[in-house]
Amino acid sequence: MDDSLNIYTPSELKLSIAGKAKELRLQKKLKRATLADMSGVSASSIKRFETTGNVSFASLLQIANALGVLDEFTSLFRVARPRTLSELEKLENEAKPLRGRI
């Protein structure tokens, strides 16, 4: 995972992801129709995704799986882990919330 600082708006990020997916598809010499067959996502949905960045999350995962990059999603929403013994002890002594609160 790249640790460099990137600041994107959600719209910019979805277009960036779509562009990378298209670049990877072309690098693998796949037509949209072929990727559609491999992923189970319609070719028209893939075209819409590649041009606008709009796609359902389930379809995005199917496309990523077909392109061989599904594992990259495991780093989303990573919870910070304690790095020192004192951080671990502090975490263990805190009450665990059962639900979110404002």
Structural domain boundaries enclosing 41: 10-93
Q: Number of folded domains in the chain? A: 1
- Does residue 1 form part of some domain? no
In a domain, 98, yes or no: no
Mind listing the pLDDT tens digit for each residue in 22-78?
A: 999 999 999 999 999 999 999 999 999 999 999 999 999 999 999 999 999 998 988
Can you list the alpha helix ranges (DSSP code H) found in the chain?
A: 10-27, 32-39, 43-52, 57-67, 85-93
Question: Is 66 inside a domain boundary?
Answer: yes
We report the CATH number of the domain holding residue 76 as 1.10.260.40
- For residue 72, tell me if it sits in a domain: yes
Residue 76 lies in a domain: yes
Considering the entire predicted model, what is its pTM? 0.76
- Find all residues with CB under 8 Å of 69, minimum gap 6, and list them: 24
**Is 33 within a domain?**
yes
Single out the residue of 23, 26, 47 nearest to residue 36, CA to CA. Answer: 47
